[in-house]
Amino acid sequence: MVTLGALEPGELVLLTVALVGVIPVALRYSDEAKWFTVGYCCLVIGAIATNAEALFLGDLLNFVEHGVGLLGSGLAFAYAAYERRESLLGAGSAGSETPEATEVAEG
């Protein structure tokens, strides 16, 4: 029989912080921040899987922890950064030319 004593205190603290952190992420959700939200939710899934693997389905939940939790969050955060960069570059080049750039283009 598996007991709650199999859980490590550090992993329980990680789970608690991750679950409490969902509140501000959900309250500040916007379309612009959707990939950040996806990445954070992947981290929460990973934290849940980390704790649950000590109780049951160890191998499967270890895969979920690393595949969904870590890999999924990394990909989501990388795409969020890429999308943000593209929006900033697109906004910066749409009508904010400096006088020097206009002179070069005309000259």
Cα separation of 101 and 96, whole Å? 10
Task: Dihedral sign for Cα 74, 76, 82, 88, please.
Answer: negative
Residue 102 lies in a domain: no
State pLDDT tens for residues 14-67.
Answer: 889 999 999 999 888 888 889 999 999 999 999 999 888 888 888 999 999 999
- In 3D space, the residue among 46, 38, 93 whose CA is nearest the CA of residue 68 turns out to be 46
Residue 14 lies in a domain: yes
Count structural domains, the chain: 1
Residue 99 lies in a domain: no
Residue 55 lies in a domain: yes
Angle between helices 34-52 and 73-93 in degrees, nearest 10: 170
Q: How far is CA 59 from CA 15, 65, 105, in A?
A: 19, 10, 61
Encoding tokens for residue 3?
């007991």
State pLDDT tens for residues 56-96.
Answer: 888 999 999 999 999 999 999 999 999 999 999 987 765 55
Residue 107 lies in a domain: no
* Boundaries of domain holding 18: 4-93
